[in-house]
Structure 1
Amino acid sequence: MDKKGLSKRQVFETLQEFKNKDLTYSSGNILGSMCTCAHPIAQDAYCDFLESNLGDPGLFKGTKALEDEVITMLGDLLGKKDVYGHVITGGTEANLMAMRAARNMTRETAINNSLEKPEIIVPKSAHFSFKKAADILGLHLKEAELDDDYCMDIDYLSENISKNTVAVVGVAGTTELGKIDPIPELSEICLDSNIYLHVDAAFGGFLIPFLNDIGYNFPQFDFSLEGVCSMTIDPHKMGLAPIPTGCILFREEKYLDVMNIDTPYLTQKQQSTIVGTRTGASSAAAWAIMKYMGREGYVKLATRAMEITEFLARNLVKSGFELVSSPELNIVAFNSPKINAHALAEKLEAEGWAVSVSACPPAIRVVLMPHIKREHIIDFIETLENIQESFD
């Protein structure tokens, strides 16, 4: 740094120059992200609690009470009010904690059963965070094949569970296509085999319950299924909380206990989270937005997202594009008959549109988050049609 500091005006003028290089959600041009504009209520609450540190919760008893209420509200939303967990940074940390809990729970059993190397089975559509978790925790990662609708193949799972399997992962709202794995069947298999089942509902957790309220009739995916041991849910996605606001929920407190390490110099003498210093601002923001929105508010939000999703899907077909499959949640994946997905993504980027390309299968992937409006989709379709016409 320089010997002499800048003035406040100089600092913020320079910051603005950097910020001007960023894309913004409100522009409608970010089409490939699962994040969105944080609600002003959540932003204000976050800023009010910037000094809080839930890594030392005895110093911030009010903020800790907010975190506990958030976990209870989310548990109630996901089929079991009396759950245990924490507000953390996001889905990656939540998934890492779940795999750590599963591994630690089986350590004694592993010794007794001569476990060669603990393994986890995840669908090929699982988030990349499970590869991180396997690497960090020394787990062997098995990727289950997908069925014709890009969900975990149950037959593959049944045939590949072994004495080394410490956890199975199902996804409720896959990152690439928004698909929901057959969680009820996974629950039955894991119960029968006495295997830990984790459900990654980072994306779908703030959608599926509210869509079911209006008649979508998605199958059970949460703690209402006896085999589900833990769940990931991200309020900073469809929950409208600021980044970073993720949550890990456990059916029983023992899953947290098995990860505890001693923290003798803090006000809480044991800690199970990955990070030590942990902002309480995320808990306050999640509490504020959930209380403000209520179930009715989130139903309206989910309804609007699905209306825009269906609008995009219909118009893509009308314009000659090919859907990978019918959207289950607010993600649409499609291809052009004239140009491959990666080349199309590059052309869209040149026109100012930030889309992503899915890997399984390769396709343009659009996530219809709350910042996306109908007028944005109309402009997007027009751009797509112009690009496609240029190949005639």
Structure 2
Amino acid sequence: MEAEVIKMVARLFSGGPETCGSMTSGGTESIMMACKAYRDYAREERGVSLPEIVLPVTAHPAFDKAANYFGMKIRHIPLTKVYTVDLAAMKAAITGNTVMLVGSVPNFPYGTMDDIEGICQLGLKYNIPVHVDCCLGGFLIPFMRDAGYPLPPFDFSLPGVTSVSVDTHKYGFAPKGSSVVLYKELKYKHCQYFVTSDWPGGNYGSPSVSGSRSGGIIATCWAAMMYFGYEGYVNTTRSIVQTTRYMESELRSLEGLFIFGTPATSVLALGSDVFHIYRLSSALNKRGWNINCLQFPVGIHLCVTHLHTNPGVADQFISDVKEELAVIMKDPGLQLEGVMAMYGKSHSIPDRSIIGDFTRYYIDATYYTPDCDKLVEIKQNGVVQNGTDAHVK
């Protein structure tokens, strides 16, 4: 089933007879595997001992995570005025230690599409592999042409593209924990493997980070792809992109708001030069919407999914935005309050290590468990006693 999922996804991305890959636990692992593969390939083929990744500032933090894990260096490239990677700056950042170039289709913060053709030209000129991160939009972009929304080339049809990461657990509607990393040639995938023949327990080989993996997730991913089929994904893509374009058009007409760049697929990123945009996200979240906050510069975004294509949902979102915007515009200079005020100030703190510390403490807090033996006593009648009796749910 894994082999068939890989083959099907490879065909969606214009893969050839040598295109190969692996299923992973998610986009982060897919990205990490590509970074590990190119690190080892550059070391074996060119003797690179200080490997560097050149990528846009909007690229997923999984690349930074891979660099941290695998002893690599990141060169972050700024964006153009339309929120895509600056190719001139990317070219200037390439050195003899560069082992891979990266572009996103689309990127997570703004939903814009990097110039993959331009990145590929750099890759071919300097003989550097190009990875295209399609984790977010991987099960939209291959179907957009047939859905009536063609995109510029982004896959293995471009000579310079050597690998692609695609999440099946997003718009592929597979269960969480399934993704695919593809390589144009087997020589790159071989560098992804971990193999040792010196263990007393026997020869050991592993295609990715995980040793043990869930066969159930692979099977249900395969089943989801069988269920939807090509035409099914074309139809869901058409409805999602159509809904996104409709919402984009409506939002662009609202005073006090602007949209970052040109959304390529399903992400709408909003900003404001009139009021603090986090006021709008806070208000919309209270209405039940799931809005993400952005920084550098501050902004918010909504990722349009198949749920948003249900009748009336998009119109309800636009209506809620209009109502909250009308309230905000009565006093656009009003300062943020509560948690959002703290979050709104965090991006301006010069010492980013402080933010890192808070993040670590937050993660620690999610693992906290009280000493239940000292807090409660479970009675036989199903009542919990902790000073006063309370019913057990």
| TM-score after normalising by structure 1 | 0.78
Q: Offset of 1:284 from its aligned partner? A: 1.3
Aligned to 2:220: 285
Given candidates 302, 317, 325, the residue that maps to 1:366 is 302
Partner secondary structure for residue 145 of structure 2? helix
Given candidates 150, 154, 159, the residue that maps to 2:87 is 154
1:390 maps onto 2:327 in alignment? yes
> Distance between the aligned counterparts of 1:272 and 1:221, measured in 2?
26
Alignment length, in residue pairs?
A: 324
Aligned to 1:335: 271
Give the aligned CA root-mean-square deviation in angstroms.
Answer: 2.1
> Distance between the aligned counterparts of 2:201 and 2:302, measured in 1?
45
On the 8 A contact 1:87/1:246 being kept in 2, the answer is: yes
- Structure 1 or 2, whichever has the larger Rg, is 2
Aligned to 1:297: 232
Q: Offset of 1:274 from its aligned partner? A: 0.8
CA separation of 1:389 and 1:306: change in aligned 2, threshold 3 A: same
1:129 maps onto 2:65 in alignment? no
Q: Offset of 1:366 from its aligned partner? A: 0.8
Question: Identity across aligned pairs (percent)?
Answer: 31
Given candidates 241, 251, 255, the residue that maps to 1:306 is 241
Aligned to 1:143: 76
Partner secondary structure for residue 306 of structure 2? coil
Partner secondary structure for residue 345 of structure 1? helix
Given candidates 1, 11, 18, the residue that maps to 1:76 is 11
336-345 vs 120-129, greater mean Cα deviation: 336-345
Partner secondary structure for residue 91 of structure 2? helix
Given candidates 148, 167, 189, the residue that maps to 1:256 is 189
On the 8 A contact 2:131/2:163 being kept in 1, the answer is: yes
> Distance between the aligned counterparts of 2:252 and 2:90, measured in 1?
34
66-75 vs 340-349, greater mean Cα deviation: 340-349
Mark the runs of 5 or more structure 2 residues left unpaired by the alignment. Answer: 331-393
On the 8 A contact 2:82/2:262 being kept in 1, the answer is: no
274-283 vs 229-238, greater mean Cα deviation: 274-283
Query: With CA pairs under 8 Å and 6+ residues apart, which has the higher RCO, 1 or 2?
Result: 1
1:352 maps onto 2:285 in alignment? no
On the 8 A contact 1:84/1:249 being kept in 2, the answer is: yes
Alignment of 1:83-232 (within 5 A): 83-111=19-47, 115=48, 117-232=50-165
Mark the runs of 5 or more structure 1 residues left unpaired by the alignment. Answer: 1-65
Q: C-alpha deviations, 1:282-332, integer Å up to 9, x for none?
A: 221222122221211111101100121122122223443322233221111
Aligned AA for 2:32? L
Partner secondary structure for residue 390 of structure 1? helix
Q: C-alpha deviations, 1:49-92, integer Å up to 9, x for none?
A: xxxxxxxxxxxxxxxxx100110111011011532211111110
On the 8 A contact 2:64/2:74 being kept in 1, the answer is: yes
| TM-score after normalising by structure 2 | 0.77
Q: C-alpha deviations, 1:103-161, integer Å up to 9, x for none?
A: 000113453xxx46211001111011111111111111001121222111111111121
Aligned to 2:364: none
On the 8 A contact 1:125/1:360 being kept in 2, the answer is: no
Given candidates 314, 318, 327, the residue that maps to 1:381 is 318
